[in-house]
Structure 1
């Protein structure tokens, strides 16, 4: 399992819930664009060291902690705990926001507990609830999903998706403060990470017949991240310098040069 982290800068773009869930006829509002993207990744280490590296890079950009820090996650509890631990250690105020796309996935899973596949009402049902969540009503949406499942007399197996969605919205409500995020102009989706999973990991490692040792995969992953960050030329000069030191200078560090008899 590869862990990937990203740091990037954005210029805030305030939006409304209807801007996020705009219909085809509505005027589209462009969200905040990522600038100066930086990636890190590992298959050897778990989330904690990767998140530490993310904080190191973010702190390098903002050593005085004067800027607004937002951490986007998919809801993984271990990742959230690691972010909180790093923020506490460094005395940084970080707002954690769960990626809206993951919330949508749970909502669509719940949808098919109430509608047949292909039912045109399903899309409208999801849109109404997403707008409510974006307006700060995650717990109310969760309660409504549970009530509908009970009122329709669904068996436990038939309401499994609905219960999972309601549980997710309730448990993660503290990280679903989309009204603050939208008003502040912050991003609310992890497209940067999803894209990195594809072009850093999947395009190279997930090929037919490929077999990787962990160390080999780690080395290639690091190189792909270095190249993606635009640091390869600097890295290569560093590499050649240290190779020269290792092969030549370290061998004759004491200026004892062997001679033929």
Structure 2
């Protein structure tokens, strides 16, 4: 069973190289002893399990000694050797004379380092601790641990308590909810800032691969949107509102999907955040992509938000660089169209084998040139010979009107010929992968900001750009200027203890 050891402090006097060598020697002796003990008796599955656990504990303890030893050399051993003044985000700070202790959480557990603080020139501002900024700490968590914790948060199938238990077992980090939430929220907000550019770059990479592929089709960029109800936590009880997700998929010349980037937002009236984010991704891909223009298509169902976005945004969109109108191919999802065919069959024939046979024939016709016309004509012919109840007539008219009013977007034979996807399965699947597998587990309720914290992380995780986005987050974190100069690299400040 994993335990959370007491914080490790590695700031003892003595020659640093000797202290470091002593720690290596002690850990090496422990590892040799474990190996010798494992060799000395017959190997069994239980002993193998215990051996690996014991080795992991020794290695973690070594990390808890080496990491703070190195972190304590980032700043001078004496506070007076630190530059007296520092500037950070347009504020001036003055060094204080004593070091203070700070708990730091890392992938090796909780550590203690000593830090030099700088007092702000203006009252009311918080103290500045340059070491924390140089190490990239987030509420005391190292970049490696913050990334690990947020990756667990973004992954599917676990609730908050299970994730905290995982951190305790794997890293000896005994966080509670009050410590966990500020770290995840800070990283989520930062990754949300850099998500857009990374997704645009990823789509451009896939477009380059699609253009270099072989096949008879033009590369395709497919946009889809959908909504899903999310259980929100209220002061009294719960409320279900519709959250939104979007996908942008790239297909090569053979119709093979190369990848998908995801967007997701907590419930909001009119979905302005989703509309703005998706439009920005499309426009920036068009702006930055200098190769041949791919075929752009919009495959979705016919909900009000989806239809409104297509009519008011996509249909009016022009190419940002050339000003030319974009020839969007709008496709009504084949699955939604097939649902109406089955509705017609049930109203005309009832729930029997004849209805099944007719519906299967119509679904085959739907994929042929002029297929929707043939389906409607067949339905109308059988309707003329039937007497329907008021309820049956209403359902029949609704399904018939759905297909008739969308005939221009149900030309599946043409779509197949040019390599355009017929279904919004990728977007429908996004509702499952983004929301159901993570935010709709048993008993879960969400505040909107809490849900968005996870969604920011999850779309980066699912889009396959986690390392790129997190790297940009770390590179963009502001650094203090020490004594008129940007703080030097750690090895330039390394001194003997």
Provide the C-alpha distance between the structure 2 equivalents of 1:61 and 1:170, rounded to a whole number of angstroms: 39
Provide the C-alpha distance between the structure 1 equivalents of 2:432 and 2:483, rounded to a whole number of angstroms: 45
Provide the C-alpha distance between the structure 1 equivalents of 2:265 and 2:457, rounded to a whole number of angstroms: 11
Counterpart residue number, 2:419: 185
TM-fit CA distance, 1:62: 4.0
Does the aligned pair in 1 maintain the 2:263–2:278 contact within 8 Å? no
Deviations 1:183-211, CA, capped at 9 Å, x for gaps: 11221011111111111111111112111
Q: Structure 2 residue aligned with 1:128, among 349, 353, 361?
A: 361
Q: Secondary structure at the match of 2:297?
A: strand
Q: 1:87 to 1:114 in 2, by over 3 A?
A: closer
Q: Structure 1 residue aligned with 2:295, among 47, 68, 78?
A: 68
Q: 1:54 to 1:152 in 2, by over 3 A?
A: farther
Provide the C-alpha distance between the structure 2 equivalents of 1:239 and 1:188, rounded to a whole number of angstroms: 38
Report 1:5-154 matches (<5 A). 5-12=246-253, 32-43=255-266, 44=268, 45-46=271-272, 48-56=275-283, 58-59=285-286, 62-63=289-290, 66-84=293-311, 85-90=313-318, 91-117=325-351, 119-135=352-368, 136-154=370-388
Provide the C-alpha distance between the structure 2 equivalents of 1:73 and 1:187, rounded to a whole number of angstroms: 11
Q: 1:213 to 1:196 in 2, by over 3 A?
A: same
Counterpart residue number, 2:472: 238
Counterpart residue number, 1:2: 243
TM-fit CA distance, 1:145: 2.5
Q: Secondary structure at the match of 1:157?
A: helix
Does the aligned pair in 2 maintain the 1:108–1:126 contact within 8 Å? yes
TM-fit CA distance, 1:144: 3.6
Q: Secondary structure at the match of 2:445?
A: coil
TM-score norm. by structure 1 comes to 0.77
Provide the C-alpha distance between the structure 2 equivalents of 1:54 and 1:153, rounded to a whole number of angstroms: 51
1:249 aligns with 2:480: yes
Deviations 1:111-150, CA, capped at 9 Å, x for gaps: 2213343x22222211221233222232442354244334
Q: 1:77 to 1:146 in 2, by over 3 A?
A: farther
Provide the C-alpha distance between the structure 2 equivalents of 1:57 and 1:154, rounded to a whole number of angstroms: 53
Q: 1:218 to 1:56 in 2, by over 3 A?
A: farther
TM-fit CA distance, 1:88: 2.2
Counterpart residue number, 1:198: 432
Q: 1:115 to 1:202 in 2, by over 3 A?
A: same
Provide the C-alpha distance between the structure 2 equivalents of 1:77 and 1:12, rounded to a whole number of angstroms: 32
Q: 1:139 to 1:57 in 2, by over 3 A?
A: farther
TM-score norm. by structure 2 comes to 0.43
**Which structure has more strand as a fraction of its residues?**
2
TM-fit CA distance, 1:80: 3.1
Q: Secondary structure at the match of 2:337?
A: helix
Does the aligned pair in 1 maintain the 2:314–2:328 contact within 8 Å? no
Counterpart residue number, 2:76: none
Does the aligned pair in 2 maintain the 1:200–1:225 contact within 8 Å? yes
Runs of at least 5 residues in structure 2 that lack an aligned partner in the other structure = 1-241, 319-324, 486-497
Provide the C-alpha distance between the structure 2 equivalents of 1:175 and 1:123, rounded to a whole number of angstroms: 25
Does the aligned pair in 2 maintain the 1:4–1:40 contact within 8 Å? yes
Runs of at least 5 residues in structure 1 that lack an aligned partner in the other structure = 14-31, 256-261
TM-fit CA distance, 1:33: 2.4
